[in-house]
Amino acid sequence: MAGVPGEGPDGRGAPGTRSYTRASMEISELQAALRRTYHRRDAERGLDGTFRWLAEEVGELARALRTGDRAELVHEFGDVLAWLGSLANLVGVDLEEAAVRYAAGCPRCDRSPCACEPR
């Protein structure tokens, strides 16, 4: 598994083995943490390279969905969020601003639950 942007040995244990005690995190906090931690590397990698890492993580998430292993799902969803946040940081998009269009329900039919015809 590729892990989060720039993940690697850091003296705090093997990648992906750290224990987390925080119950929740705001999207803006995640994006700020990703910016502090990875922005230099992401900028050096560029948009195309960062997008390719995101696509790879989506593939790993697809494999985790097939196995249904909860720990693997949590890990891969986290990786997808991290790479999405890194990509958003590179292009200057605030993910909370992007997400707000879903705050009141479906942005197509303006209802919750969605009443659109399934695609």
Q: Which amino acid is at 100?
A: V
Is residue 44 included in any domain, yes or no?
A: yes
pLDDT digit string (tens) for 97-107? 999 999 999 99
CATH of the domain at 94: 1.10.287.1080
CA distance from start to end of the chain: 32
Reported as a single tens digit per residue, the pLDDT across 74-93 is 999 999 999 999 999 999 99
> Which position has the higher pLDDT, 12 or 80?
80
Does 12 fall in a domain? no
The string of pLDDT tens digits covering residues 36-48 is: 999 999 999 999 9
How many separate domains does the chain show? 1
β strands within the chain, DSSP E: none
Helix-strand-coil split of the chain, %, nearest 5: 60, 0, 40
Q: What percent of the chain has pLDDT over 70?
A: 82
Residue 18 maps to a domain: no
12 Cβ contact list (under 8 Å, min separation 6): 18
| 37 token code pair | 């931690």
Of 12-16, 30-34, 61-65, 71-75, the poorest mean pLDDT is in 12-16
93: domain range? Answer: 27-102
In a domain, 15, yes or no: no
Which tokens in the block code for residue 30? 């995640």
Question: What pTM value is reported for the model?
Answer: 0.80
In this structure, is residue 76 part of a structural domain? yes
